[in-house]
């Protein structure tokens, strides 16, 4: 690691610890030339995740876009930001665990619906109505009926 003070290439690591979020390693280094200390951060280099949209176009995955859509679905509901942020993290973990660098928007939508279903029924239905592009009230009612049937089946078990 090149010293920011004198340009010396050689340095030694004095202290190493993870950052609070656990995503980086913070390293305190001492230059072997001028003996000054400096901090560096080590992060995992990732290949961006690409989303294949319904029209077959591709765009880079955007965590904030997913979180915003979930926030809209949960508008005026008793769902905390932390719950949604954790849900997005679980969705991302599932997407990244496949080692595929391309994922369909349908896959993201399905995972999002699963998460919302476990968090808040109304948010789930709101998201599903936009995501599944319900064409009429009957389609909407079928989704509600399926949801209620699943709930009553789980209650009996």
Look up residue 65 and give its two tokens.
């876009």
The average pLDDT across 115-144 equals 80
Question: Whole-model pTM?
Answer: 0.62
* Neighbouring C-beta atoms of residue 19, cutoff 10 Å: 12
pLDDT of 26 over the 70 cut? yes
* Tens-place pLDDT, residues 43-98: 876 778 899 998 999 999 999 999 999 999 999 999 999 999 999 999 998 998 87
Give the Cα separation of 109 and 130 in Å (integer).
10
Residue among 101, 152, 151 at smallest CA distance from 124: 151
Angstrom distances, CA of residue 96 to CA of 48, 80, 82, 115, 138:
10, 25, 21, 16, 36
């Amino acid at each position: 690691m090149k010293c920011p003070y004198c340009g010396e290439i050689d340095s030694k690591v004095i202290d190493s610890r993870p950052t609070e979020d656990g995503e980086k390693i913070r390293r305190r280094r001492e230059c072997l030339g001028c003996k000054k200390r400096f901090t560096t951060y080590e992060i995992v280099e990732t290949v961006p995740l690409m989303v294949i949209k319904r029209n077959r176009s591709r765009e880079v995955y955007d965590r904030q876009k997913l979180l915003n859509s979930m926030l809209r679905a949960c508008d005026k509901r008793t769902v905390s930001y932390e719950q949604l942020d954790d849900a997005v993290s679980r969705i991302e973990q599932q997407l990244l665990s496949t080692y595929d660098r391309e994922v369909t928007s349908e896959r993201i939508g399905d995972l999002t619906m699963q998460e919302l279903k476990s968090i808040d029924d109304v948010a789930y239905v709101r998201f599903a109505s936009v995501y599944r592009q319900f064409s009429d009230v009957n389609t909407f009612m079928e989704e509600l009926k399926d949801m209620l049937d699943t709930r009553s089946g789980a209650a009996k078990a």
